[in-house]
Structure 1
């Protein structure tokens, strides 16, 4: 049985990915700052597949100490971590010159730092095992900056760059790394706005794509996967 750690797993894409992994028989380590949300989602995952293990921790993924404690406890409870999904992220609609004080630092600690820390924490054990798969949830803003979301674009571009370095470091050792690059996806980032879900990528689309990539043969890796709305970006 494989074990996965997913950051930001109680909402949006992370939630859909966790549910899809449960259906695949993959045991899960998930965290959230909200204990009630975490407990409810754990029950839902166990209902999807009673055969898996689900480890939960009340932890802020953007806090270095809490994230690393969560990672250590995930290993202790599940065993070897084979899959990492770096999904935690926040979006801010703001030009860089209009950013509130501290926004850039918050973006780095949420959109970039957790992926770096979990890579450092698990990377060498994945090399020793000669297998594993890391997914980094980037954004089309990683490729084409959105000026109205400047700091978001910068941190997501940095995440894609980190993803590429991870892949190059790990590929001689049989460990795979994939950048998932979604376009306009129906998540909490769109809360309060009127949108038509039929014009957007759904979180379940991202989850389905990740499962397909994960189930490819040992010799195949998807370096980058761009998933955009059929009718173009919103």
Structure 2
């Protein structure tokens, strides 16, 4: 049985991805800041698949010490981690000139730092066994910057660059690395905004793509996948 660690997994894309892996008989470790949401999600996953082991840790993934503590707990409880899904992210709608002075580090520590630290924490063990799959949830803003969300665009572009470095470092060891690049996706980022869900990517679409990529043969890797609304960006 394989073991996955997923950040930002109680809402949106992370939640859909965790549910999809649970249905694939994969043990799951997730963290979140809200203890009640985390406990409710654990119960939901256990109902979906009573056969898997689920590790939950109350932690802020944007805090390096709490993130590493979560990684240590996941490794201790599950053993070797085979799948990393770097999903944690935030979308502050602000131009760089209007950013609050603390926003830069907050967004970097949310959108970029966790992927870097989890790669360093688990990467060498993946190399030692010659297998693993890392999924980095980027954004179409990494390719087409959104000036109304400047620092978000910058950090997602940096995450895509980090993804590419990971892939080049890992390919000789048989460890797969995939950048998932969604366009307008119906998550909490759109909370309070009237949108037509039939003209957006759904979290379940992203989860489905990840599962299908994960289930490819050992010799195949999807370097990156772009998933955009059929009617164009919202």
Q: TM-score range by the shorter chain?
A: over 0.9
Aligned to 1:27: 27
TM-score by length of 2: 1.00
Determine the C-alpha separation between the residues in 2 that align with 1:222 and 1:97: 36
Aligned to 2:192: 192
Q: How far off is 1:198 after superposition?
A: 0.2
Determine the C-alpha separation between the residues in 2 that align with 1:210 and 1:129: 22
Q: Secondary structure at the match of 2:166?
A: helix
Q: How far off is 1:97 after superposition?
A: 0.2
Q: Secondary structure at the match of 1:10?
A: coil
1:1-234 maps to which residues of 2 (within 5 A)? 1-234=1-234
Q: How far off is 1:153 after superposition?
A: 0.3
1:56-76: per-residue Cα shift (whole Å, max 9, x none)? 000000000000000011000
Determine the C-alpha separation between the residues in 2 that align with 1:154 and 1:85: 20
TM-score by length of 1: 1.00
Determine the C-alpha separation between the residues in 2 that align with 1:8 and 1:109: 13
Q: How far off is 1:120 after superposition?
A: 0.2
Determine the C-alpha separation between the residues in 2 that align with 1:42 and 1:192: 27
Aligned CA-pair RMSD: 0.3
Q: How far off is 1:212 after superposition?
A: 0.1
Q: How far off is 1:199 after superposition?
A: 0.3
Determine the C-alpha separation between the residues in 1 that align with 2:33 and 2:95: 28
Q: How far off is 1:101 after superposition?
A: 1.4
4+ runs of 1 displaced by more than 2 Å?
none
Q: Secondary structure at the match of 1:135?
A: strand
1:19-69: per-residue Cα shift (whole Å, max 9, x none)? 000000000000001111000000000000000000000000000000000
Q: Secondary structure at the match of 1:100?
A: coil
1:73-110: per-residue Cα shift (whole Å, max 9, x none)? 10000111000000000001111001111111101000
Q: Secondary structure at the match of 1:218?
A: coil
Determine the C-alpha separation between the residues in 2 that align with 1:125 and 1:183: 33
Determine the C-alpha separation between the residues in 1 that align with 2:127 and 2:231: 41
Determine the C-alpha separation between the residues in 1 that align with 2:52 and 2:25: 6
Determine the C-alpha separation between the residues in 1 that align with 2:32 and 2:92: 20
- In the alignment, structure 2 segments of 5+ residues that lack a partner are none
Q: Secondary structure at the match of 1:148?
A: helix
Determine the C-alpha separation between the residues in 2 that align with 1:221 and 1:31: 27
1:150-198: per-residue Cα shift (whole Å, max 9, x none)? 0000000000000000000000000000000000000000001000000
